[in-house]
Structures are given as C-alpha cells and as structure tokens.
Amino acid sequence: MDLLYANDTQGAYPQSWYAATTEPLAPYPVLTGSERADICVIGAGYTGLSAALHLAQAGRRVVLLEAQRVGFGASGRNGGQLGSGQRVDQEELETMVGLDQARALWTLGEEAKDLVKGLIADHKIACHLKPGVAWTASSPAEVQHLHDYAGLLQSRYNYDQVEPLSAEGCHALCPSPDYKGGILDMGAAHLHPLAFALGLARAAEAAGVTICEQSRVIALEYGAKVRIRTEEGDVTADHAILACNGYLSGLAPSVTARVMPINNFIVATEPLGARTKEVLTRDVAVADSRFVVNYFRLSHDGRLLFGGGESYGYRFPKDIAAVVRKPMEMVFPHLKNVRVEYAWGGTLGITMKRFPYLARVAPNVLSASGYSGHGVGTATHAGQLMARAIEGEDSGFKTMQCIPTPAFPGGGALRTPLLVLAMTWYALRDRLGV
Ligand SMILES: Cc1cc2nc3c(=O)[nH]c(=O)nc-3n(C[C@H](O)[C@H](O)[C@H](O)COP(=O)(O)OP(=O)(O)OC[C@H]3O[C@@H](n4cnc5c(N)ncnc54)[C@H](O)[C@@H]3O)c2cc1C
C-alpha cells in the first residue's frame, strides 16, 4: 500500500468529528473488468467530484475512480473555510504578475466562492454553510497590515464585504488574549467539508457519473486514448483528469515534483454549552496570521473545532490531540481543562509559491492540485475549469497557469528534508515573534 495512506485503514474514513456527523453514502462498487469512458477522473475529492459533475452535466460519459471512499482525502477532513480570492494575497499577486492579471485571479477566486455557494443551493447540500471568516493577528504591525489589506481590497478590487476589527472589536468577537485585532470578511464562509463532498458525489451520481470506490489507479498509459489501470480493472478514455492532490504518488512525475504532501491536524472538543462565548460570540470562522496557521470555529453542536500544527513526513504524530492542544491553549488559555473528543490529520498538497498547479500533462490529460490550504473553493473551481477546458473553453484554466510552478529543490528524495528545514525556520520565527 502507498505510504501516503500509512495513517489510514483501507476503505474507512478517519475517526473525525466530520465522519461522526455525516450521513454516510452506501459504498460505490469497485471497478472490475474493462470500461469505456469519454473522461476518466482519478480522485474523488472536491477537484474530481466537481470535474466529473460538470462534465456529466455537459453530456459526457464519465467514470470517477477513487482509491478509498468519496471525500476520504483532504476534502473530507479540512477546516471548512471558504476563503476569498486566492491563497496568495492580492498584494503579492500584483508583485508576481502585475495588476491586470492579479485582478483576473481575484475574479476567479470570487467565482470559486460563488460556485461552492451555488452548488450547495442547486443540489440542496445540507452542509451548514455560514457566512464569515475573520483573520486575526497577534502584533500591532500585523494588525495594521491586515487593515491596510482590507483597504486595498476595497479600493482596488471593489470588495466591500471586509471590515477592519480594532483590538476591542476583535476581542468582542473572539475573547483570546493572543489576538490584537484583525479583519472580518463576510463574503467568505465556512461549512461541513465532508457533508459538502458527499453532497457533490450525490449530485455527480444523479448527473450520470459512474463512481467506483476502493479502485486505486496503479498505472496510466498515455496516448490518443488513455488507458487507466487499477488492480481489478481498466478504463479506456479520450481524456483523463488527475485530481489526487497530496495523495498523487507516481502517476505523473512532473506533478509530483511540484506538489508536495504535508499534513495538518484538527481537534474537536467536547460540546462547550454556554462556554462557546469564551471562543466566539458570532458563528464565524477564524484564521490567524501565523506561518503555521491556527484556525477554528464552532461546530453546529457547540464544540470548538481547532486546527493547527503541521508535519512533513508520511506518518502522523502518535498523539495528534497533544500536538494540537499546544496552539489551542496558547490561543485559549482558559480552555485548559476542556476535553478533546476527536483528533484527526489530513494530507494536503502545497507548491513552492503556494499557488495551485494546473497543468496539461499530456494533450488529453489535465491535472489540478497544490491548493496549499485554500482548496474548498479553489479545488471545486479547478474541477469546473478542467471540465470547461475539455469542452474547448480553457481561458480560466490558462489564467490559473499565469504563475509558473517551480519544482521543489532536491527532487523526490531530498525535497522533504529541505522543506522540513525551511518550515521549521518559519515556525520558529512564529514562536519567537520575529
Ligand atoms: C487538515 C486540513 C485542513 C484544511 N483546511 C482548509 C480550509 O479550511 N479551507 C480550505 O480552503 N482548504 C483547506 N484545506 C485544503 C483542502 O482540504 C484541499 O485543498 C482540498 O480538499 C483538495 O481537494 P482535492 O479533491 O484536490 O484533494 P483530496 O480531497 O485530497 O482528494 C484526492 C483524492 O484522490 C484519491 N487518490 C489519490 N491517488 C489516487 C489513485 N492513484 N487512484 C484513485 N484515487 C486516488 C485520494 O484517495 C483522495 O480521496 C485543508 C486541508 C487539510 C488536510
């Protein structure tokens, strides 16, 4: 079995609060024998589910192959934050590609948010979608930076849904002694990520997609027709889509060189009852401005869902709850005695520039991954952009390629140790406050 699944039980969701609170889907069959498809999509997270759904809606015959279960990867485990724009902020994008392209990327980011909200409405996906994400900071300089950023979004991008939070305003929203101010973006949102993924699967199935679970692709044969092989079957297709994100291993070496798997962790506390007010006074999500971001929100049953801590090898830490408790208690020292009832990890794909990597790896094989922690909207949207590109309209796909994605230094063998060094340095800077 692939090392990337070393922390998991084959065919089973991790024991997350998400899995415990989602109506499961009946298992889809394993691929056996030979199938023919217009498009074969590999990986059933947001990227693959959205691509498959949009292609089926365009009348194409689609087979979707998933190594484990639908939404088993990052899409069923994440922080649920649907952020505005791109993972890289607009100021940095302007420096990288100039104002016009930065504006085009902002527009695509807004389309991504609207797409998620639209899919949830159109397919009646019950996934607790709520408006509002706050960005908080721990030093006056960082608070000023966030306030300036809100001003830039208003003046240059005409975005009026973000407001500055003073120290008092921030504290009234989130009574953490760690935060000194921030911004509140009511155009951003948060949701139950696994329920969203399973809702997309239901919609894709209803649109005619053939979904196969526990059907890991072990080989791709490129050519005028693509042949996709699993242990027990194969699909011959006109096009293939790689939607494996952090879990892609050997299928496309040019993607593996540019998209690195890293792990991130979340805990769910016991229900807090009246103490929810000690975390948040409004039902919005929060992310802070640390390099290893702490992010949290309240669940619909009144728990604190707190994400924090990263690791860069294949194995998750033995005691995930202990790892996440550290940043949780730094942000909320008053929650020291609160019990943690669920703790889980997930693997996501990051790129050197923290901008997603959309690539045409062969004339008839597309790939999208490396959302770098900003995939709820961007991955769902990338699936739609790939579907459109196959239908002959690839302007959005191409715009997302305007930032070149370099390979990680060190190639397959050295990239992880080098990344560990770099990340440890930045995490240390967080702790030292420099
Ligand atoms: C802990 C955590 C917190 C996060 N928080 C946020 C957040 O708050 N907001 C946000 O926007 N983003 C967040 N992210 C990132 C976000 O979850 C991802 O960017 C997004 O889910 C990527 O979707 P995907 O479909 O590309 O990948 P995934 O959901 O990982 O799906 C890939 C799928 O491909 C399958 N697969 C891989 N190889 C094969 C193969 N050979 N054959 C068949 N199937 C295969 C895998 O089993 C997997 O199910 C977070 C991620 C993690 C892990």
Closest CA relative to residue 45, chosen from 219, 239, 241: 241
Ligand 1 midpoint to CA 192 (Å) = 14
Among 348, 363, 380, residue at a domain's last position: 348
How far does the centroid of ligand 1 lie from the alpha carbon of residue 262, in Å?
Answer: 11
Tell me: do 250 and 384 sit in the same domain.
Answer: yes
**How far is it, in rounded angstroms, from Cα 122 to Cα 29?**
27
Residue 87 falls inside a structural domain: no
| Ligand 1 near 80 CB (within 6 A) | yes
Region 207-214: what's the mean pLDDT?
98
Q: Is the CB of 264 under 6 A from ligand 1?
A: yes
Domain ranges, residue 165: 129-188+261-348
Single residue among 323, 348, 373 that ends a domain in this structure: 348
Residues 296 and 416 in one domain: no
The position carrying tokens 């009246």 is: 274
Given a cut of 60, whether residue 428 has pLDDT beyond it is: no
CA gap 374, 382 in Å, rounded: 12
Nearest to 45, CA basis, from 312, 237, 226, 246:
246
Distances 104 to 85, 398, 401 between C-alpha atoms, Å: 10, 11, 12
Average pLDDT value for residue range 217-241: 97
Say how many Å lie between the CA of residue 2 and the centre of ligand 1: 16
Residues 266 and 343 in one domain: yes
Q: Is residue 123 part of a domain?
A: no
Assess whether 210 and 298 both reside in one domain: no
Banded model confidence at residue 418, pLDDT cuts 50, 70, 90: low
Question: Residue 143: which residues within 8 A CB-CB, separation 6 or more?
Answer: 137, 167, 180, 181, 182
**Stretch among 145-154, 163-172, 324-333, 414-423 having the lowest mean pLDDT:** 414-423
Q: From atom 15 of ligand 1, which residue's Cα is the shortest distance away?
A: 373
Shared-domain flag, residues 24 and 146: no
Ligand 1: residue whose CA is nearest its atom 11: 374
Q: What is the CATH number of the domain that holds 318?
A: 3.30.9.10
Residue nearest atom 13 of ligand 1, based on CA coordinates: 373
pLDDT of 284 > 50? The answer is yes
Q: Are residues 180 and 291 in the same domain?
A: yes
Residues in the chain: 434
Boundary residue ending a domain (348, 367, 388): 348
Ranges 5-14, 153-162, 298-307: which has the least confidence: 5-14
pLDDT digits (tens, 9 = 90+) for 115-135: 999 999 999 999 999 999 999
Q: Is 62 a residue whose pLDDT tops 60?
A: yes
Residue 83 falls within a domain, yes or no? no
pLDDT value at residue 434: 46
Check if 367 has its Cβ closer than 6 Å to any atom of ligand 1: no
- Going from the Cα of 233 to the center of ligand 1, the distance in angstroms, rounded, reads 24
CA of 245 to the centre of ligand 1 (A): 6
Number of domains into which the chain is organized: 2
Q: Are residues 252 and 275 in the same domain?
A: no
What's the confidence (pLDDT) of residue 117? 98
- 177 and 272 co-located in one domain: yes
Q: Are residues 233 and 276 in the same domain?
A: no
CATH of the domain at 359: 3.50.50.60
